[in-house]
Amino acid sequence: MSLSVAVAGASGYAGGELLRILSSHPEFDVTTVTANRNAGQPLIALQPHLRSLRHLQLQATDPAVLAGHDVVFLALPHGASGAVTAALPAGTLLVDCGADHRLTDESDWKQFYGGEYYGAWDYGLPELLLGGGGTQRVNLKASKRIAVPGCNVTAITLALAPGIRAGVIEASDLVAVLAVGPSGAGKSLRTDLLASEILGSASAYQVGGIHRHTPEISQNLAVAGGVDVSVSFTPVLVPMSRGILATSTARLRPGVTETQVRDAWETAYAEEPFVHVLPAGQFPRTADTVGANTALIGLAVDKAAGRVVVVSAIDNLVKGTAGAAIQSANIALGLDETLGLSVDGVAP
């Protein structure tokens, strides 16, 4: 029997991607979609690519509308979901794609987001390595409250966590530069996201440790076993609609060999259906992850600099958001975690 599903924030990019994947999920039946200022319009007017869901109409994002479903996915702006989820029944599986329930430290929330703190939920990155062994998926089984990671966070966490848990890299000097597509910023009309502004150009933003994903990255790498984690990451807006290519580097621990480095990553992800370590000398392209719930990883050792270089690629709207949400929900419900999710991208 299908599980009834509601998607809040269905008119945005993340909401649309959730619906695209959910529309072909064999165990989920999307019965309700909600929005804020677009309430009252047909879903197809805002998401014209979702032909199979053209019968749905956007309703107001109200707890009374969302209550009564087996699963509720929320794709609302940061700071908007906490009040909504607080009013929903304890027995409903809630999966939040926003930031409201990601951070375990209230002071981090106040510094980087502000507003009321609603507490941390089970973290929705199944492949997150735990310092003592195992992965985060053990904490998602039978969960009723799941917080999906930030997309930049996913790219960097998956890139660096294996080296930290295996003890082959230092956690105190981590640097990452990310090429990111503008869909990660949502559909809000902003001058800096207009095609005329970004086509033929690349620009860094949120430079100098002020990006909201910074404490979340540190939080994850500490969970993976990092001590005195220090990470500096710089996102760069580039003219591709979706995707993240993260180049992350870390200092090698003394005496560590290239073989030990590669073993650390290959061992960590050997059984993972969605995280693939590429052969030596190969590095991923964002194009190969479009539409797929995959994270592709290439790594090298820069002997002269004494650093490991890890290049990771994801689709920010799939593995970075909607795919992770559905993968985590599958685990929580006791389903095959790969259900409804693809490892195949779209080409060309």
Residues annotated as part of the active site: 151
CB 58 within 8 A of CB 43: yes
Q: Report the alpha-carbon distance of residue 60 to residue 54 in Å, rounded.
A: 17
Q: What are 40's two structure tokens? A: 């009252």
CB 180 within 8 A of CB 10: no
CB 201 within 8 A of CB 239: yes
Q: Report the alpha-carbon distance of residue 56 to residue 124 in Å, rounded.
A: 28
Q: What are 182's two structure tokens? A: 């503008």
Q: Is 138 helix (H, G, I), strand (E, B) or coil?
A: helix
By residue count, the chain amounts to 348
Greatest extent of the chain over all pairs of C-alpha atoms, in Å = 63
Q: For residue 42, report the phi and psi dihedrals to the nearest 5 degrees.
A: -65, 140
Quickly tell me which residue has 């592709």 as its tokens: 296
Q: What are 307's two structure tokens? A: 């650093």
Q: Report the alpha-carbon distance of residue 14 to residue 93 in Å, rounded.
A: 18
Q: Report the alpha-carbon distance of residue 30 to residue 69 in Å, rounded.
A: 10
Q: What are 159's two structure tokens? A: 């890139």
Q: What are 103's two structure tokens? A: 């951070």
CB 44 within 8 A of CB 69: no
Q: Report the alpha-carbon distance of residue 178 to residue 312 in Å, rounded.
A: 9
Q: Report the alpha-carbon distance of residue 281 to residue 300 in Å, rounded.
A: 7
